[in-house]
Amino acid sequence: MKYISTRGAPAQKEFTDVLLEGLAPDGGLYVPVNFPKIDAGFLNDMQGKPYYDVAFHIIRLFATPSIPESDLQDILKKIYTRNEDRFPKDEVTPLVNLSDGFHILELFHGPTLAFKDVALQLLGELFDYILKKRNEKITIIGATSGDTGSAAIEGVKHCDNARIFILHPHNRTSQVQRRQMTTVLADNVYNIAIEGSFDDCQNIVKKLFGHNDFREKHNLSAVNSINWARIIAQTVYYVYAYLKIGKPLNFAVPTGNFGNVYAAYIARQIGVPINDLVIGSNRNDILTRFFKTGIMTVTDVEPSLSPSMDIQISSNLERYLFDLFDRDSDQLNAFMTDFKKTGTASIDNESLAKAQAIFSAYRCDDDMTLETIRTIESQYNYLCDPHTAVGVSAAIQHRKHRGDSRDSMVALACAHPAKFPDAIEKAVNHRPDLPYRLQDLYDRKERYTVLPADSQRVREFIENA
Ligand SMILES: *Cc1c(COP(=O)(O)O)cnc(C)c1O
């Protein structure tokens, strides 16, 4: 499979290049030149196969020949076979049945108890595989407000050829969040607590990437949510859920950067019998407004009970827009330029109808989030984290709106409730039990360095590390 940029640069790239580069040089996002198709026979053959094997049959379509099949198979087996260090359950992503035709796909059984582990565990291993082959080393730098940082650290800590530096705002993450990062004592992991805000952390990272000599000398890289390999790793669990249910279904996905639901769209595009993709957004509802009206307008971000979805712009939406515009980069560029200049951009009615034939979007504010956590606990004795609740609420709203519940609905559980104990307590008056993985978190040794919000000091730290 070859890849092109959504912004129209003529070069075609290999999977391994796309993996290491992340963003395309013209500022666009990489997408495959076409979508491979699978058929009913293919799906039939995969019935009952273990997760790593399903992963192999899907990812192979996108990663070969740039990664040879046998190597890919070894890597996937290593990551997605039951393993205390990575995914300790019998299944990587268990499907829980709440009621007739309503299911929860649990994506939170990885090391940091959130769905990002499913992709980042693989990404770290793929990085190391390619870097060793090329005899290269990289330095990964990222800023985090809490969650992505720990998933990236857990993904990279086994790598011999990558170092990772994660900046978090000093004393502004939760204790659990900080300790999930700072108690990883691997030699290639560096946690930096910046005396400032998350924005300060992000600005420092941007400055470091903008420093050409430094960037080249250390082979800087990022593991952000636009990396194509993360998307395709996530497509696997949609296929896996379909195989368990065995008939056409809908997915409800709590959405921030549009990465997770775009992975579902890929599953649909390659031929998995998926009907509706239901998007849930919190009070920061730019996506819901877009899919309802065809107008995308930026607003300020307000903090919510589902912080991993508190975003202003959904970066992966660009990949879907590219398809919506029949892969016309000029039209996409015009849309993006409009949006950047004026903070608003729109699509025509025909395109909107096309988008709405696949995506439905619903908003779920903090009150509704708490209400949903309460209802699902009392009706089904199942505890949802606040992100999961946003998706579940969207699923319920969708069924009401459509007036039928014939299709099976799978709502994605994106984080373990124990990651958000305050919100859970607010909803149901008790705090969730810490899973065994985190039980000794407060006894573990921490290691991190506190630095001022000054990019030069951070650069010196990295130089001397
Ligand atoms: C990242 C994240 C999301 C949002 O996913 P996107 O791929 O950005 O749409 C939702 N819930 C949790 C718990 C997350 O960590």
The pLDDT tens digits for 257-308 are: 999 999 999 999 999 999 999 999 999 999 999 999 999 999 998 999 999 8
Kindly give the number of the ligand 1 atom that is closest to the alpha carbon of 387.
Answer: 11
The answer to whether the CB of 46 falls within 8 A of the CB of 336 is no
Kindly give the number of the ligand 1 atom that is closest to the alpha carbon of 259.
Answer: 7
Question: Which token pair is 28?
Answer: 């666009």
* Distance of CA 308 from the midpoint of ligand 1 (Å): 5
Nearest-CA residue for ligand 1 atom 8 is 257
The pLDDT tens digits for 327-379 are: 999 999 999 999 999 999 999 999 999 999 999 999 999 999 999 999 999 99
**Distance between CA atoms of residues 323 and 32, nearest Å:** 11
The answer to whether the CB of 391 falls within 8 A of the CB of 411 is yes
Enclosing H/E stretch for 221: strand 220-221
Nearest-CA residue for ligand 1 atom 14 is 308
**Distance between CA atoms of residues 190 and 449, nearest Å:** 8
Nearest-CA residue for ligand 1 atom 1 is 308
**Distance between CA atoms of residues 137 and 116, nearest Å:** 24
Q: Determine how many CB atoms are found less than 10 A away from the CB of residue 28.
A: 22
- Which of 257, 315, 419 is the best mutation target for the ligand 1 pocket, counting ligand atoms within 8 Å of the beta carbon and taking the most? 257
The order of strands in the sheet holding 408-413 is 95-99, 102-106, 408-413, 249-254, 274-281, 359-363
Concatenate the DSSP letters of all residues of 25-90 into one string.
TTS-BEEESS-----HHHHHHHTT--HHHHHHHHHHHHHTTTS-HHHHHHHHHHHHS--TTS--SS
- Which of 290, 369, 387 is the best mutation target for the ligand 1 pocket, counting ligand atoms within 8 Å of the beta carbon and taking the most? 387
Question: Which token pair is 125?
Answer: 């291993």
The pLDDT tens digits for 414-447 are: 999 999 999 999 999 999 988 888 889 999 999 9
The pLDDT tens digits for 196-253 are: 988 899 889 989 988 989 999 999 988 878 899 999 999 999 999 999 999 999 999 9
* Distance of CA 309 from the midpoint of ligand 1 (Å): 6
Q: What is the pLDDT of residue 121?
A: 97
Nearest-CA residue for ligand 1 atom 4 is 256
Question: Which token pair is 437?
Answer: 């993985």
**Distance between CA atoms of residues 170 and 449, nearest Å:** 10
Query: Which residue blocks in 144-227 are alpha helix, DSSP H?
Result: 147-156, 175-182, 198-210, 212-218
**Distance between CA atoms of residues 398 and 414, nearest Å:** 19
Question: Which token pair is 157?
Answer: 């800590």
Q: What is the pLDDT of residue 167?
A: 97
Average pLDDT in the chain: 95
Q: What is the pLDDT of residue 465?
A: 94
Q: What is the pLDDT of residue 260?
A: 97
Q: What is each CA distance from 167 to 193, 200, 238, 319, 336, in whole angstroms?
A: 6, 9, 32, 28, 29
Kindly give the number of the ligand 1 atom that is closest to the alpha carbon of 258.
Answer: 9
**Distance between CA atoms of residues 299 and 287, nearest Å:** 11
* Distance of CA 132 from the midpoint of ligand 1 (Å): 31
Mean pLDDT of 89-118: 96
- Which of 308, 369, 388 is the best mutation target for the ligand 1 pocket, counting ligand atoms within 8 Å of the beta carbon and taking the most? 308
Who's near 224: CB < 8 A, 6+ residues apart?
22, 23, 142, 315
Q: What is each CA distance from 205 to 120, 192, 202, 227, 311, in whole angstroms?
A: 20, 12, 5, 17, 18
- Three-class secondary structure of residue 441 per DSSP: helix
pTM of the predicted model as reported, rounded to 2 decimal places: 0.96
- Which of 116, 279, 364, 416 is the best mutation target for the ligand 1 pocket, counting ligand atoms within 8 Å of the beta carbon and taking the most? 116
Kindly give the number of the ligand 1 atom that is closest to the alpha carbon of 151.
Answer: 15
Catalytic residues: 116
Q: Determine how many CB atoms are found less than 10 A away from the CB of residue 434.
A: 17
The pLDDT tens digits for 313-332 are: 898 999 999 999 999 999 99
**Distance between CA atoms of residues 397 and 404, nearest Å:** 11
Q: What is the pLDDT of residue 368?
A: 98
**Distance between CA atoms of residues 63 and 30, nearest Å:** 13
Q: What is the pLDDT of residue 222?
A: 84
Q: What is the pLDDT of residue 439?
A: 87
Phi and psi torsions of 406, nearest 5°: -75, -45
* Distance of CA 225 from the midpoint of ligand 1 (Å): 10
Which 8-state DSSP code applies to residue 444?
Answer: S
Would you place residue 59 in the very low, low, confident or very high pLDDT band (cuts 50, 70, 90)? Answer: very high
Would you place residue 25 in the very low, low, confident or very high pLDDT band (cuts 50, 70, 90)? Answer: confident
Burial class, 459, CB count within 10 angstroms (exposed 0-12 / middle 13-18 / buried 19+): middle
* Distance of CA 149 from the midpoint of ligand 1 (Å): 13
Question: Which token pair is 459?
Answer: 């650069």
Q: Which residues line the pocket of ligand 1, CB cutoff 6 A?
A: 114, 116, 147, 225, 254-260, 308-309, 387, 414-415
Q: Calculate what percentage of the chain has a pLDDT beyond 70.
A: 100
Question: Where does residue 271 fall: left (phi above 0), alpha (psi -120 to 50 degrees), or beta otherwise?
Answer: left
CA angle, residues 358, 406, 118, in degrees to nearest 5: 55
* Distance of CA 121 from the midpoint of ligand 1 (Å): 16
Kindly give the number of the ligand 1 atom that is closest to the alpha carbon of 388.
Answer: 11
* Distance of CA 8 from the midpoint of ligand 1 (Å): 28
Residue among 146, 226, 142 at smallest CA distance from 189: 142
Q: What is the pLDDT of residue 435?
A: 86
